A and B are shown apart, each in its own frame.
Chain A
Amino acid sequence: MDITLMVNGVSRAVTVDPRMSLLDLLRERLALIGAKKGCDHGQCGACTVLIDGRRANSCLALAVAMDGREITTVEGLGHEDELHPLQTAFMEHDAFQCGYCTPGQLCSAAGMLGEPGPSAITGDMAADPDLTPEEIRERMSGNLCRCGAYVNIVSAIAEVAP
């Protein structure tokens, strides 16, 4: 089926099999290999991208259902000469070891910082809480890091959080 979507600000027209995931479209057809295939079940977060500005698991999205959407991958988050503040903070805080989960962590954090309201651990559901380390941990629980770099990931995100 023919679809057109904006990927990192560039319009891309592609013909896809209905079975293809957004993740496979990005990696196999558009040569954007930043988003990673970790579990392919929506449980690890390594495939996280922004769909219309909101973080999502690209492994659970069918490409054919993404017609007309705006996709941002880690490749579109920043550039080598102009890094996203989260990318700079991840480097300064040594927020990775092997780096496999990092593109997903970065896209997830970028989306998370724009999400309004409480989390499951916020005391008052009507409140807009500060992004304490505990709040960041809860909100980032969809991204696993098997190297266990969580401490530095949380401190990197905390530096960028408002």
Chain B
Amino acid sequence: MKTFDYARAESPSDAVRRCGPGAMYLGGGTNLVDLMRLGVARPDHLVDVSRLPLDAIEEAGDRLRVGAAVRNSDLAADPLVRSRYPMLARAVLSGASGQVRNMATVAGNLLQRTRCPYFQDVSRPCNKREPGSGCPAIEGDHTNLAILGTSHACVATHPSDMAVALAALGAEVHVTGPGGDRIVPIPGLHRLPGDAPERDTVLEPGDLITAVELPAPPPGASLYRKVRERASFAFALVSIAAVLDVRDGVVAGCRIALGGVAHAPWRAERAEQVLIGGPATGEAFLTAAEAELEQARPLPRNAFKLPLARNLIVRTLEELAS
């Protein structure tokens, strides 16, 4: 591991002040420390923000404000999250292991890097790690990589489960940084790769996430489902966070977000538009899924994700409608 300086921030503004060129924030460290050991992340300075007083979960009217340093396990175990946002609790519990969830923070979960095998292997080219070096995944092992929103430069996926539920809920990320405070919506925080896959998010250098705010739960039933290669402690091949509000057999409201298929949590807006105002039938769910996945560009070894995503959308909506 490359040498670096370590400093503990006393406050969010102190953290931003300390986070100059070559510096990175340290939260739970579950992804960053591993990437530093692999030589993928090579910070000169670490600014430890894990002890900042950003670890509360507070009601704000009918919204819920989750501090950036809240541990994943504390978020999933919170009584308000479990009763009002069960889809979010299940998404968080579907990620990683009990040990990792005890360490990992909410902000760190959002900002974790892709698990693309080429990104994590410094002996291989990777446009995300070394811009312009190429993407061997397109011709190589892309089994678990993206089918939606990919570019010629990158087919990486965002690995978070939590972010998929937040995308369906329409959460907002509170950010402070050298340019002041602002609010970034999810979806909107994570970018598609385009020509700049080295940028995972719209955040600027020195930006610090201070909280994630959840709007009032949308009406309807919700589910988080995850398909993976083993029963637990594995990243999603495809996952879905869905909310469905059916009134008199008609879809009054619908939110669908997919995980494991794109560089960002993928809000299935086309499917939502097809469904809203129409009948809540299996046939309509299939039409909606196919409308969404029409824009998919799978590669030879991950084309299986297409029927997997289609069936997952249909089955999840059918369960929510019943």
Q: Restricting to A99-135, which residues have a CB under 8 Å from any CB of B?
A: 108, 111-112, 115-120, 124-126
With A18-B46, A117-B77 known as contacts, the answer to whether A141 contacts B6 (CB < 8 A) is no
A60 within 8 A of B: yes
Partner of A60, one of B4, B33, B46, B83: B33
Query: How many interface residues does chain B have, given as a range?
Result: 35 or more
Closest to B76 in A: A117
Closest to A45 in B: B99
With A120-B93, A125-B86, A125-B89 known as contacts, the answer to whether A142 contacts B100 (CB < 8 A) is yes
Q: How far is the CA of A55 from the CA of B37 in the complex (A)?
A: 22
Chain A residues with Cβ under 8 A from B26's Cβ? 62, 65
Q: Encode A21-58 as 1/0 by CB contact (under 8 A) with B.
A: 10000000000000000001111010010010011110
Query: How many interface residues does chain A have, given as a range?
Result: 35 or more
B185 within 8 A of A: no
With A19-B1, A19-B3, A108-B98 known as contacts, the answer to whether A57 contacts B89 (CB < 8 A) is no
Q: How far is the CA of A7 from the CA of B41 in the complex (A)?
A: 30
Q: Restricting to B88-118, which residues have a CB under 8 Å from any CB of A?
A: 89-90, 93-94, 96-100, 102-103
Interface contact A42-B93, CB-CB below 8 Å = no
A-B contact count (CB 8 A): 111
Could you tell me the dominant secondary structure of chain A's interface residues? loop
Q: Encode B162-196 as 1/0 by CB contact (under 8 A) with A.
A: 00000000000000000000000000000000000
B127 within 8 A of A: no
A6 within 8 A of B: no
Interface contact B37-A41, CB-CB below 8 Å = yes
Q: How far is the CA of A54 from the CA of B98 in the complex (A)?
A: 9
With A119-B93, A120-B93, A125-B82 known as contacts, the answer to whether A40 contacts B37 (CB < 8 A) is yes
A138 within 8 A of B: yes
Distance of A39 from chain B, by nearest CB (Å)? 10
Distance of A128 from chain B, by nearest CB (Å)? 10
Q: Restricting to B34-77, which residues have a CB under 8 Å from any CB of A?
A: 34, 37, 46, 48, 50, 73, 76-77
Interface contact A65-B48, CB-CB below 8 Å = yes
Interface contact A18-B3, CB-CB below 8 Å = yes
Chain A residues with Cβ under 8 A from B76's Cβ? 117-118
Chain A residues with Cβ under 8 A from B99's Cβ? 42, 45, 48, 55-57, 108, 111, 142
Q: Would you list the 4 A-B pairs with minimal beta carbon distance, nearest first?
A: A142-B97, A141-B232, A125-B86, A117-B77
Q: Residues of B with Cβ closer than 8 Å to A? A: 1, 3-6, 8, 26, 28-30, 33-34, 37, 46, 48, 50, 73, 76-77, 79, 82-83, 86, 89-90, 93-94, 96-100, 102-103, 226, 231-233
